[in-house]
């Protein structure tokens, strides 16, 4: 206690001078930040989480305009995947960094990288931003795990989840307003002041907890090897091959072309190489075998990957429906996305409290995935002239399902992890969420492009499909005549349905995976670290 006070990190014990141990019993050795310090830490984490989560959603309403500015409808997948690619590739490396280096220093570095990417913009900037966001996202949950008592952790996880949801609400709205009123580049620049305040708050109010650094006796060279950079770069190379193959296949090149086949073969070979490297790395691997063998972790990883895929596909392709098919502005598109995001946010908050009260997480996974699948299925039925009652109601249903289970895998994974594994488990779960987004958005883009090309030949036979792709999602009404437009919109609607079908399939698969989740209560079992 005195040593921590000397370091400027005020602490207090939980429940009248006692702390709660991993099994729920009192453990007087565990100390937590005092109320004021805890409030400032939570504020800092909210300010850090907000721009990182904002970057996942803010471009969703701006992408249609960006595709028109750069004449590149087939680049939609890259605007999303470039971000998720680096988030996924380096998520686990950041988890190792939080384990072996001072928590505060690593967290500030991650925010700095995130801010740098926000200055650069577009694909390269998105990739750099994703690299920083990987550290920010896992860092926020790791710091919470070392800062609050076990019984309170689901509620605080709910605060971070609500922050994520609020950023998702503001993201499409801001993206639409910036794109319509200023420039889409402000979708990137907005991160700078928010991140600056977060850095200042963390710098002045957060102290690395005693016990947050594990194994101080490990040499610097061993710590670097623990980062498993070969594994991270293999993930990047594999996803790049996969995305390029799906971007070209059936659109700019036939599926049997040497380039597309070579990229797909490369993806398979790199994936095999990644598996071999991970096996040889053993305890240095990004995906630690001893952790991945745990049933709860394995189920949560598969679930969060599939559910994240469903969410991000809906998030990125609903604005195309609103802006391309219904012809509204980017800002109006953001408003029309609110039913999905608000319902999701409200149920994330509600779910944090319910999980704290009931403890068992499996029912949330099952119910949430089933409702998400039903909501996605209803969105599939939308047509060119669908009334607002349909697209509002269907989005609300999908949002309820997503909110019920979106944060549960991270909460339950942390709950049943050992104290020294909290950062690693968190990073692994965030890795699977990001890789799901990267792979499935690319798949949705490939399905969208191929279907659009085929349907234009059917419904608008006098129009070159490449010209439709070239004008982008918001340039249709300026580039084509009123006589040509109906056939193009029918083709667009058919292509969007194929993308929504991927959201349905991934949501349904998540529901099946959830059936294998153990019906374990996490009450009193949340792992703790000294703080």
- What CATH number is given to the structural domain containing 178? 1.20.1250.20
- Give the dihedral sign, CA 277/278/282/284: positive
* Residue 523 belongs to some domain of the structure: no
Low-confidence ranges of the chain (pLDDT < 70): 1-34, 60-61, 64, 67-78, 80, 121-123, 150, 153-154, 165, 168-169, 209-217, 251, 417, 419-420, 423, 472-475, 522-531
| Predicted pLDDT of residue 38 | 81
- Which helix (H) or strand (E) segment is 32 a member of? strand 32-33
Q: Residues 168-226: pLDDT tens digits? A: 667 777 877 787 777 777 777 888 888 888 888 888 777 776 655 555 667 777 777 77
Residue 269 and residue 291 in one domain: no
| Predicted pLDDT of residue 486 | 85
Residue 364 and residue 395 in one domain: yes
Nearest to 446 by CA among 306, 234, 260: 260
* Residue 325 belongs to some domain of the structure: yes
Residue 262 and residue 336 in one domain: no
Residue 427 and residue 319 in one domain: yes
Residue 60 and residue 142 in one domain: yes
Residue 31 and residue 95 in one domain: yes
* Residue 519 belongs to some domain of the structure: no
Cβ neighbors of 415 (< 8 A, separation 6 or more) are 153, 154, 361, 522, 525, 526, 527
Residue 13 and residue 77 in one domain: yes
| Predicted pLDDT of residue 191 | 82
* Residue 392 belongs to some domain of the structure: yes
| Predicted pLDDT of residue 6 | 36
Cβ neighbours of 480 (radius 10 Å): 19
Residue 186 and residue 270 in one domain: no
Total domains in the chain come to: 2
Residue 263 and residue 349 in one domain: no
| Predicted pLDDT of residue 24 | 39
* Tokens describing residue 305: 């990957």
Domain range for 388: 2-228+286-514
| Predicted pLDDT of residue 502 | 94
Nearest to 338 by CA among 157, 162, 165: 165
Residue 207 and residue 248 in one domain: no
Residue 326 and residue 237 in one domain: no
User: End of a domain among 285, 302, 317?
Assistant: 285
Cβ neighbours of 383 (radius 10 Å): 11
* Residue 529 belongs to some domain of the structure: no
């Amino acid at each position: 206690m005195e040593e921590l006070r000397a370091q400027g990190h005020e602490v207090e014990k939980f429940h009248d001078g006692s702390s709660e141990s991993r099994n729920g019993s009192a453990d007087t050795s565990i100390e937590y930040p005092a109320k004021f310090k805890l409030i400032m830490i939570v504020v800092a984490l909210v300010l850090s989480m907000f721009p990182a989560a904002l970057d996942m959603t803010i471009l969703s309403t701006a992408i249609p305009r960006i595709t028109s500015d750069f004449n590149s409808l087939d680049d939609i997948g890259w605007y999303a995947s470039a971000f998720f690619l680096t988030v996924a590739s380096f998520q686990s490396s950041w988890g190792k960094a939080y384990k072996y280096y001072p928590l505060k220093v690593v967290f500030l570095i991650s925010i700095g990288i995130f801010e740098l990417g926000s200055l650069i913009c577009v694909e390269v900037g998105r990739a750099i931003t994703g690299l920083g966001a990987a550290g920010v996202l896992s860092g926020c949950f790791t710091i919470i795990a070392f800062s609050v008592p076990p019984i309170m952790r689901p509620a605080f996880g709910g605060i971070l989840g609500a922050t994520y949801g609020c950023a998702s609400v503001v993201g499409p709205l801001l993206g639409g307003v910036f794109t319509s009123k200023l420039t889409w580049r402000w979708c990137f620049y907005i991160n700078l002041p928010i991140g600056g305040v977060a850095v200042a708050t963390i710098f002045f109010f957060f102290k690395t907890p005693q016990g947050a650094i594990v194994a101080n006796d490990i040499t610097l060279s061993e710590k670097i090897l623990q980062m498993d950079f070969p594994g991270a770069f293999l993930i990047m190379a594999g996803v790049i091959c996969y995305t390029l193959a799906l971007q070209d296949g059936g659109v700019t090149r036939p599926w049997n072309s040497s380039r597309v086949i070579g990229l797909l073969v490369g993806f398979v070979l790199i994936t095999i190489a990644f598996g071999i490297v991970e096996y040889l790395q053993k305890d240095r691997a990004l995906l630690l075998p001893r952790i991945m063998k745990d049933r709860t972790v394995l189920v949560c990883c598969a679930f969060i990957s599939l559910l994240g895929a469903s969410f991000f596909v809906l998030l990125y392709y609903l604005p195309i429906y609103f802006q391309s098919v219904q012809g509204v502005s980017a800002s109006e598109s953001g408003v029309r996305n609110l039913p999905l995001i608000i319902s999701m946010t409200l149920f994330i908050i509600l779910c944090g409290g319910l999980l704290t009260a009931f403890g068992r997480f499996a029912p949330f996974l099952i119910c949430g995935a089933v409702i998400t699948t039903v909501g996605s299925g209803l969105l599939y039925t939308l047509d060119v002239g669908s009334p607002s009652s349909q697209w509002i109601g269907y989005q609300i249903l999908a949002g309820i399902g997503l909110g019920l289970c979106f944060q549960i895998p991270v909460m339950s994974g942390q709950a049943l992890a050992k104290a020294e594994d909290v950062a690693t488990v968190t990073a692994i779960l965030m890795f699977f969420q990001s890789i799901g987004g990267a792979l499935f958005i690319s798949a949705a883009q490939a399905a969208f492009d191929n279907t659009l090309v085929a349907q234009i030949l059917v419904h608008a036979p006098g129009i070159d499909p490449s010209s439709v792709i070239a004008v982008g999602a918001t340039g249709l009404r300026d580039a084509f005549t009123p006589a040509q437009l109906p056939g193009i919109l029918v083709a667009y609607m058919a292509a969007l349905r194929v993308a929504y079908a991927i959201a349905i399939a991934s949501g349904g698969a998540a529901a099946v995976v959830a059936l294998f989740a153990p019906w374990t209560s996490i009450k009193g079992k949340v792992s703790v670290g000294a703080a």
